[in-house]
Amino acid sequence: ANTGEICSLFLVLQHFGLTEDKKNMSISILANYDVVYLAQVYLNKMLLGQYNSTLGKYVGYTEKTKEIADNLNKNKGFLEHEKKNKEKCRTNIPLVLDILSRPVKPIVRLRLVESADSKHPGLFMCSAYNFYPKQIKLTWLRDGKEATSNVTSTDELPNGNWLYQIHSYIEISSKPGEKISCVVEHASLTEPKVYDWVPITEAGRNKIAVGAAGLLLALVFPIIGVIFYKRKQQALFCPIFLCFTCPFYLLFLRNLEQNQTQGSPTMS
């Protein structure tokens, strides 16, 4: 284990006489798994008190928490509980280090955010999601050559689950047929990976439109079917598309309507 590696967990704590504090449990991992366990209590970003395994006791930093710390230090049960927490953390260190040593590949998405026009250049966005460790590099290529002008990038942003995301933008007035690419370099990749932007063709737009129309019909037909079924509870239930494609079923429904006033529906 490397000296000074830190792992932190944040838990809502309801002791120390406070109900909305955050307890920052930190383990400083030293050589040979010799750990220093800290259980720190914050309120509005101010450290109120902590348990320090090196001191073996609670320490308060305000008048109220000093009094609370003194009372906790007199209770052997609380002190034994913190000692057990330290040992639990120590036994989990190999697992934590194993997890931290495994890189996670980023999920990359390259897209055109704003199309270019006569007044404004186009804006492309390259995003990398859910990667670990934090260090990553995104670069832009235009027809295979690195582009550095009009490029902006965010910092590596934590997701809150030990994974990160980053976004890079480039403003360019791309020429017809120009190849725009985003290159990603990360510890999880054996070599830099190139992602090319593929513009949507007219045929592609038509396919998307047809797919959207099909999805809309798939959503509308069941709703119509439910309404029709409620109104025709005496009729046999059939998927709604049969109402539009099966002449026999249409004849059956017409016959049903004609005979509703005469008694039970019959087939002729």
Rounded percentage of the chain residues whose pLDDT exceeds 90: 41
pLDDT band at 204, cuts 50/70/90? low
Which residue among 141, 167, 196 closes a domain?
Answer: 196
Q: Which residue has the higher pLDDT, 16 or 124?
A: 124
SS3 of 194, please? strand
Domain boundary pick from 196, 220, 237 = 196
Q: 267 lies in a domain?
A: no
Token readout for 74 is 């007199």
96 with 22, same domain: the answer is yes
| Domain contains 41 | yes
Does position 233 have pLDDT exceeding 60, yes or no? no
- Clarify whether residues 95 and 15 are in a common domain: yes
Q: Is residue 254 part of a domain?
A: yes
Q: Are residues 147 and 165 in the same domain?
A: yes
Residue 31 lies inside a defined structural domain of this protein: yes
What pLDDT sits at residue 20? 38
Q: Is the pLDDT of residue 2 over 70?
A: no
Q: Which has the minimum average pLDDT: 21-25, 93-97, 198-202?
A: 21-25
Q: Are residues 189 and 226 in the same domain?
A: no
Q: What is the CATH number of the domain that holds 96?
A: 3.10.320.10
What is the CA 226 to chain-centroid distance, rounded? 36
| 153 assigned to some structural domain | yes
Sorting pLDDT into bands at 50, 70 and 90, what band is 244? very low
Q: Region 145-166: what's the mean pLDDT?
A: 94
Specify the number of domains making up the chain.
Answer: 3
Among candidate residues 253, 223, 261, the one with its CA nearest the CA of residue 235 = 253
pLDDT at 13: 34
Specify the pLDDT at position 124. Answer: 95
In a domain, 264, yes or no: no
189 versus 174: which is more confidently predicted? 189
Lookup: tokens for 219? 């959503």
Given this model, what pLDDT does residue 33 score? Answer: 59
Is 139 in the same domain as 168? yes
Verify that 141 and 190 share a domain, yes or no.
Answer: yes
Same domain for 93 and 61: yes
Residues 15 and 89 in one domain: yes
In a domain, 265, yes or no: no
137 and 162 assigned to the same domain = yes
Is residue 89 located within the same domain as residue 111?
no
Flag whether pLDDT at 194 surpasses 80. yes
pLDDT surpassing 50 at residue 267:
no
**pLDDT reported for residue 74:** 94
The 8-class DSSP code of residue 132 comes to: B
Helices (H) and strands (E) in the chain, counts: 5, 14
3-state secondary structure 168-193: EEEEECCCCCCCEEEEEEECCCCCCE
- Min mean pLDDT across 99-103, 116-120, 143-147, 157-161 is at 116-120
List pLDDT tens digits, range 64-96: 999 999 999 999 999 999 999 888 888 888 887
What CATH number is associated with residue 120? Answer: 2.60.40.10
Question: Poorest-confidence range of 34-48, 103-117, 146-160, 202-216?
Answer: 202-216
Same domain, 14 and 95: yes
Domain boundary among 83, 100, 117: 100
My answer on whether 92 and 31 are in the same domain is yes
83: domain range? Answer: 5-100
Q: How many residues does the chain have?
A: 268
Residue 266 lies in a domain: no
**pLDDT above 60 (res 36):** yes
